[in-house]
Amino acid sequence: MKTDLLQTPITYLKGVGPNRAQVLQSELGIATFDDLLNFFPNRYIDKTRYYKISELERNAAEVQIIGKIIHIKTVEQKKGRRLVAKFIDDTGEMELVWFRGHKWIKEQLQLNVPYVIFGRTNWFNGVFSMPHPEMELLSSHEQGLRIHMQPIYPSTEKLSNKGITNRVISHMVQQLFAETRGVFRETLSPDVIGELKLVSRSEALFNIHFPQDQKKLARAQFRLKLEELFFVQIQLISKNLLRKKKIRGLPFERVGEHFNTFYQEYLPFELTGAQQKVIKEIRADLGSNAQMNRLLQGDVGSGKTIVALMSMLLALDNGYQSCLMAPTEILANQHYNSLKEIIGDMNINIALLTGSVKKSERKGIHESLEDGSLHILVGTHAVLEHKVQFNNLGLAIIDEQHRFGVAQRSKLWHKNDIPPHILVMTATPIPRTLAMSLYGDLDISVIDELPPGRKPVKTVHRYDTNRLKVFRFLKDEIKKGRQVYIVYPLIQESQALDYKDLMDGYESISREFPLPEYRISIVHGQMKSEDKDIEMARFVKGETQIMVATTVIEVGVNVPNATVMIIESAERFGLSQLHQLRGRVGRGGDQSYCILMTGHKLTAEAKTRIETMTATNDGFEIAEVDLRLRGPGDLMGTQQSGLLNLKIADIVRDNDILKTARFYALRILQEDPDLALEKNLPIRQTYAELLRHRNIWNYIS
C-alpha cells in the first residue's frame, strides 16, 4: 500500500473527527494513520479457546484453562502469607496464588472438581502460576456465553472521560484496516525474513491488533520487536560507519619517544591484560585515518587514568596537544595531580584550568596553549570557553561524559580544523544491552580487571542494632593508622523519613570518637566550596581519621589510606550510587571494607540491592541488576529518557532480540553500507521514512 496514506492526519479516519483527533494526539501522541497502526495493545484477554497447561507461552496474554485443584496450602512469607493451590489438567500442573482474602477463598475452593480458570500467567522457577485467577465451575461456565480474544490498549483518565474507550479504539483500528485493506509494505529484506522465519509485516500488524490465537500473537510480537530494534541499530551503526568514512581523523602514525620513555622508565606498575588490550584498540583507532570515537568503560579503580595518559602521549609524539575534561573541580584536580605524579620529571608541560584558576594564571595558560608549548590541558567546563584556543588539539578525553550536554561536547570538536579524536571515559558500568542502544555508534572498550595488588573490598550488611560492634571495628582500624568514611543520605532531619541524618550522626560519632584521640572532618553539599576543600584536604593529608559526609564524595576522592566505608541508611541509595561509594575505599594495598547499615524494615527491592552489593564487586553485574530494577529511562537519567521511547520492544526483557537485531543490522551494513542492493530496498525506504517522520530515531551520543 502507499506509505503516504499512512501519513494522513487521524482526523480523516472515519469515526474520528477533529475533537477526538485532538484528544488522541494530546493523550497518546496519535496524529496520523501510521501512529494508530503502531499503537499496540499492552495485554490481551483470551477467551477464544481453552489452553492445555503444556501449551502455555511466555507472553503478555490472559488465558483460560480447564482443570482441577488437587492440593491447597498456605505458605508463610516475609510479609504475611499466600495461599497456593496445585492445579492440574491431563498435560501438566501449575500454581494458583492468592495474596489476599485467604480464608474466604479457601472455604469456596473445591478439590477434584472441574473448574474453568482465567487470568494472566507468570513464569517463575520453571513453573507457570496464575495470581488471583477468575474461577468458575465448568458446569456453570458451559451455560454461559464465550467471547473472542480481545486486545486491551493503554488508556488515560481523560480518554475515558471523553468516551474514547477500549472498544472505541479497537473500532478505529478496524476502520484503519478497512481503509488500507490491511496490506502494508514490507520493511525488512527477504534474507532477514527467510533466515529468522518471520511472518510478513501485514500479518504481524493484523495479529498484534486482532490475534487469532496465542501462537500467532507471539510470532507477531517477535516480528515487530525485532523490526523496531533492528532500525534503532541500523541508525546507530550507520552513523558510526558514516563517521569513519566521512570524518577524516588526524593521523597518529608514530609511537615515539614520549610514549616509549614513559612505558620503559616511568610506568608505576605493570599494565593489566585489559589495559594492554584497550591501549591496542586505541592505537589502532588513532592510526586508522578515521576519527576515533571510543567509549572507555572501567570500574572504579581499574586504571583508566594510565590509559588516558598513554593515549595523550601518543598525541604528543605525533605533534598534537590533548585535553582531559572532567565534570567537577574535585575530579579535575585529582586527574591533574595524579598525572603530574605519574609523569614525574618527564619533559611534558601540563596545566590545570578550572573556574578557580586566577586571571593572571589563565593568561599564561591561554598563551602557551596557542603557541603549542602546553602539551596537556586538564580542566572543567572552563576548557570550553571561546578564549581557550589550542595550537593543534589532537585528542579530547571526556570523563563521565553523561554529565556534559551535547552542545558542550560539540564545542570541543570545533577547537581544531579537523575534529580531534574523542575518548569518552566512564566509571559507571553500563549494561551491555544499554550500551548497544545508547552508545551503539561509539566503539566500546572495557577494562574489566583490577591492577595487581588491589584486594577486592569486603562488603557486609549490618542492622542498626549492631552499631556498637561496628564502632569497635572502626576503632581497631583507626589504631592500625587507617581512615574511615561515614556517609549519610540526608543533611537535615526529614519528618517524613525515619533516617539518621548527617547532623545527628556527626554528634553521636563525636561522642563515640572524642577529641583529642580522634579527629573528624565533615563535608556536605550546603557548605561553601572553600570550606569543603579545607575539610577534604585535612582528610587527604591524614590530619583527620573520620570523614562524615553526604554523597558529595561519591566521585573523585582518592585516599589510599581509607579502608572503611560505612553507608548509613543504605536502603535509601540506588545500586550504582552504592557501588560508586564503595569505590572510594580499596585504593591502597590494605584490605578494605564496606559496611551497609540499615534498619530491619526493608522493601523487597532494597533487599535485592543490599544482597547484590554483598554478593559481588563486579560493576557490570551490578549494573545489570540495576537495569532490571529501575528500567532504562531511570538508569540513564532524564536527558536520555526520550531515547528509549520504544513502541513495543523492551531492551531489558528483549535482550536476546536486541542482540539478534544488532547482528543482522551489522552484517547488512558491512556488506552494503548505503543499502543500495535491490534486496535491501525495503530497509532503505523504511529507514528514510523513519528519519523523516519519527524524531525518536535521531539519537545523539
Q: Is 595 inside any structural domain?
A: yes
Domain contains 625: no
Closest CA to 200 of 216, 215, 214, 213: 216
Let me know if residue 694 belongs to a domain: no
Laid out side by side, the sheet with 520-523 consists of 458-463, 593-598, 562-567, 483-487, 546-549, 520-523
Closest CA to 618 of 432, 397, 403: 432
Tell me the DSSP string of 675-699: --SGGGHHHHHHHHHHHHH-GGG--
> Does residue 604 share a domain with residue 503?
yes
**What is the reported pLDDT for 116?**
92
- Which pLDDT value is given to residue 641? 36
Interatomic CA distance for residues 526 and 217, integer angstroms: 55
Task: Please report the pLDDT score of residue 566 as a whole number.
Answer: 96
Does 143 lie in the same domain as 78? yes
pTM: 0.66
Residues 506 and 405 in one domain: no
Residue 423: helix, strand or coil by DSSP? strand
Report the C-alpha gap between 502 and 45 in whole angstroms.
52
The residue from 151, 174, 198 where one domain ends is 151
Cα–Cα distance measured from residue 143 to residue 202, given in angstroms and rounded to the nearest whole number: 37
| Cell numbers placing 610 | 543490599
Q: Any idea which of 13-17, 456-460, 533-537, 543-547 has the lowest mean pLDDT?
A: 533-537
**CATH number of the domain encompassing residue 107:** 2.40.50.140
Are 414 and 466 contained in the same domain? no
CATH classification of the domain holding 518: 3.40.50.300
Specify whether 16 is located in the same domain as 79.
no
Helix orientation angle between 681-693 and 214-246, rounded to the nearest 10 degrees: 80
Give tens-digit pLDDT for 565-613: 999 999 988 888 898 889 888 888 889 999 999 999 898 889 999 999 9
Question: What average pLDDT does the structure give for the chain?
Answer: 85
Are residues 372 and 389 both part of a single domain?
Answer: yes
Q: Is the pLDDT at 453 greater than 80, yes or no? A: no
- Other beta carbons within 10 angstroms of residue 680's beta carbon come to 21
pLDDT class for 625, splitting at 50, 70, 90?
confident
What cell does 11 get? 482526523
pLDDT digits (tens, 9 = 90+) for 7-47: 899 999 998 989 999 999 999 999 999 999 999 998 888 77
Domain that holds residue 350: 257-286+303-426
Least Cα distance to 570 among 473, 496, 495, 464 occurs for 464
Number of domains in the chain: 4
What pLDDT score does 228 carry?
93
The per-residue pLDDT for range 328-361, each reduced to its tens digit, is 887 888 899 889 989 999 999 999 999 888 888 9
Whether residue 525 sits in one domain with residue 488: yes
Indicate whether 411 pLDDT > 60: yes
Please indicate, yes or no, whether residues 59 and 34 belong to a single structural domain of this protein.
no
Average pLDDT over residues 391-402: 85
Asked whether residue 275 falls in the same domain as residue 376, the answer is yes
Range with lowest mean pLDDT among 268-272, 612-616, 682-686? 268-272
Which of 374, 407, 426 is at the close of a domain? 426
